[in-house]
Amino acid sequence: MPVFPLLHRAHDYEFLIKRWKALTKREGLTLRPFAQSGEHPVYFLDSRAGEPRTTNRERCLYISAGVHGDEAAPPWGLLEWAEENAGLLKAHRFLIFPCLNPNGLINNTRVDHRGVDINRTFHDLKEPVIAAWRALVEPHRASLALCLHEDYDGQGIYVYELNQKPEVVGHRILEDCAKIIPLDLRTKIDTSTADRGLINRKRLPKDMPGLPEAIVLYQMGVPISLTFESPSEFSLLERIAVQKQFIVSSLHHALDL
């Protein structure tokens, strides 16, 4: 008898959305398409849809995954987190984008169906997906934004933190996550200086051709914007587990949830 390895439908966008739809239906929530990317609808969940927009006093959490399609763990980590935290999902307003680049996920590419890295287009309202994204996000005052990514050069986990306050939360979050996948201890990651897995961004990197999601969210007034990176050459199941832990620990350390 052949022994089959544990199969994961990591790049099956339809299956991902099917599970999101099952979850939202079960919980009385609505996952809805908000834009079209090539042949595929792109989906969005507002866990308090139909209620007035969020004011400064309420908690509103932004989480997205699947901006880069060759980074497969984040969409599944986000889905599993939501499946296991339906109560929390309904207790606060969550703005969730389960997979912003469907073609990328399906084809295992960083770029979308046109060959564009959408994480350099978040400033550009001529981009139809971005314009529709912005119209959904901008009316709310999110307290925290989590952008979930992976790095094929990554030697462990790390995080980019944009924080209006001088203190950082990233180290405490990373400490929890490092129980699953160790920290990337490089002192220079890409072109940024890193300290035990934390890149504390105080200004925009030079020569950036267009703006990423996390920076645009920060510019829109989100006080803490965290971009998490897991190493995409590590085991998929551990990467999914660490992405899930990142969400749990971010909500806990940044917002006491």
Structure tokens at 47: 């866990």
Q: Is 149 in the site for Zn ion (CB under 5 A)?
A: yes
Is residue 239 a contact residue for Zn ion (CB under 5 A)?
no
Report the nearest approach of Zn ion to the CB of residue 253 (Å): 22
Write each residue from 99 to 138 as x if it is in contact with Zn ion (CB under 5 A), else as -, in one continuous string. ----------------------------------------
CB of 53 to Zn ion, least distance (A): 29
Angle at 43 between CA 40 and CA 49, to 5 degrees: 155
Q: How far is the CB of 227 from Zn ion (least distance, A)?
A: 8
Stretch that binds Zn ion, among 68-76, 95-103, 196-204, 232-240 (CB under 5 A): 68-76
Question: Which C-beta is closer to Zn ion: that of 68 or that of 253?
Answer: 68
Among 2, 4, 5, which residue's Cα sits nearest to residue 237? 5
Q: Which residue lies nearer to Zn ion by CB, 60 or 194? A: 194
Contact 79, 20 (CB under 8 A): yes
Span interacting with Zn ion, options 17-25, 69-77, 168-176, 210-218, rule CB under 5 A? 69-77
- Count of residues binding Zn ion (CB under 5 A)? 3
Binding part of the chain for Zn ion, among 13-21, 62-70, 127-135, 192-200 by CB under 5 A, reads: 62-70
User: Distance between CA atoms of 142 and 135, rounded to whole angstroms?
Assistant: 14
Distances (CA, A) of 35 to 4, 38, 63, 99, 178: 38, 10, 17, 12, 36
Q: Is 19 in the site for Zn ion (CB under 5 A)?
A: no
Give the C-alpha separation, 115 to 108, whole Å. 12
Q: Any residues with CB less than 8 A from the CB of 113 and at least 6 apart, and which?
A: 37, 38, 39, 103
Whether 187 contacts 157, CB under 8 Å: no
Select 47 or 64, whichever has its Cβ closest to Zn ion: 64
Asked if residue 68 binds Zn ion (CB under 5 A), the reply is yes
Residues that bind Zn ion (CB under 5 A): 68, 71, 149
